[in-house]
Amino acid sequence: MACATCHIPEHYFTDGRPLPIVATNTSLSELPTRHTPTVVGAALHRWQFWDGRAESLWAQALGPLENPLEHNSDRLAIVRYVLNEYRLSYLQAFPNSESTLPKLERLPEHGSPLSHVAEYQTNWRQLSGEQRSEINHVFANIGKALAAYQAKILPDESRFDRFVDGLNLPTDNQSLSYLDLHEQAGLKLFISEQTGCIQCHNGPLFSNSDFQATLSSAEIIPEREGRVAGIALAHADPFNCRGIYSDAPDSCDELDFAKVNGIELQAAFKVPGLRNVAKTAPYMHDGGFASLSEVLRYYNQAPMHGFSHNELQPLRLQPYQLKQLESFLVALNSELITDAYWLTPPTPPSQGDNS
């Protein structure tokens, strides 16, 4: 399994499925419960994962590698693979690190503190503190390399952007043509007090990077899922901003000041960005809605589901207004701004810089 198994470039770096496929070699019987989000623009979000359990993209990148339902690998195997297959590239990206690389020949094949394989956990426990630290440093750097790549995957201008730019540039006589009247009506609804869309979907990505209980799934235990769980995991993560592998341990305001309890954190999931949202069906944290029109219908009705905390208010829009709103969302579509070089699969390592 590769990152691109679920983050498929042709699907705007999503998988087009409600829930992701499971690693074929996993021994777990449980199924994934979270929809695959897009990678496009992910670097601009303050928190990663639907519950915000990682507060950097590099910390996020490490999670799926060891998740038994995703890559189902282990820390030592990943570090071994990268240092065997990409050693030169690694040392170019992280110069002066050669003297602190783990001595792979003295280490077991597998090992991780998080593995569900007892033997791998035992292997990890039997390592010295120095060995664990050396492995973790390389593991963290692998996350930073993955994050550096993902930071290049960004959306280009949409017709909406050209429309707004045109309004700010009176000499652009074409500005109004970038959105048709239907889409302009949708935009007005989007920013209206009645819909409140911009309460959460604000900023350059149309997301405030915060967490909101949409209550779109009744299959959830609010006290244990969502942001309330994610922030606890973020604080416990050795790869967080305050950890010894961080490059900026003195700039951790988001982690330091994040709210850690409160009923609004229960069943609350990250507000997704809306750029190219029309290309990323299905929707919500559990992939529960197949189309944008289903999502909008849900928000229009905003059923209660019996949760004690509910901030959703029915939009009370007419069917034609829902269509206008949807057409505006489609107008947020764009291509990627990313150079084609970064979207072309690399040469397999056996033909590359193997050393």
Partner 1 sequence: MPTIQGALGPGFQIVILYLLLSNAGHANDFSYLRENDANGNVWEIRLATASPPLNQIHSWYISAFNSEGHPLTDLTLSISGGMRAHGHGLPTTPKVSAEISPGIYQVDGIKFQMWGEWQVQSELTDQHGNTVGNHEFEFILAP
Residues lying near partner 1 in the complex (CB under 8 A): 163-164, 167, 170, 175-176, 181, 184, 187-188, 191-193, 198-200, 202-203, 208-211, 253-254, 256-260, 262, 264, 309-311
Render 161-186 in DSSP notation, one character per residue. HHHHHHHT-TT-TTGGGGS-HHHHHH
Closer of 119 and 165 to partner 1 (Cβ): 165
Q: How far is the CB of 151 from partner 1 (least distance, A)?
A: 19
Q: How far is the CB of 17 from partner 1 (least distance, A)?
A: 30
- Run of H or E residues at 4: helix 3-6
Closer of 198 and 330 to partner 1 (Cβ): 198
Closer of 86 and 299 to partner 1 (Cβ): 299
Q: How far is the CB of 242 from partner 1 (least distance, A)?
A: 15
Q: How far is the CB of 237 from partner 1 (least distance, A)?
A: 18
Q: How far is the CB of 192 from partner 1 (least distance, A)?
A: 6
Closer of 45 and 80 to partner 1 (Cβ): 45
DSSP conformation class of 23: P
Residue type (1 letter), 15: D
Q: How far is the CB of 259 from partner 1 (least distance, A)?
A: 5
Closer of 193 and 219 to partner 1 (Cβ): 193
Render 71-106 in DSSP notation, one character per residue. T---HHHHHHHHHHHSHHHHHHHSTT-GGGS--GGG
Closer of 86 and 163 to partner 1 (Cβ): 163
Sign of the alpha-carbon dihedral angle for 314, 315, 316, 322: negative
CB-count exposure of residue 184 (10 Å: 0-12, 13-18, 19+): middle
Distances (CA, A) of 129 to 287, 292, 348: 41, 50, 34
CA distance 27 to 88: 34
Q: How far is the CB of 208 from partner 1 (least distance, A)?
A: 4
CA distance 306 to 318: 26
Question: Dihedral, CA atoms, 17, 280, 271, 328, nearest 10 degrees?
Answer: -150
Closer of 210 and 294 to partner 1 (Cβ): 210
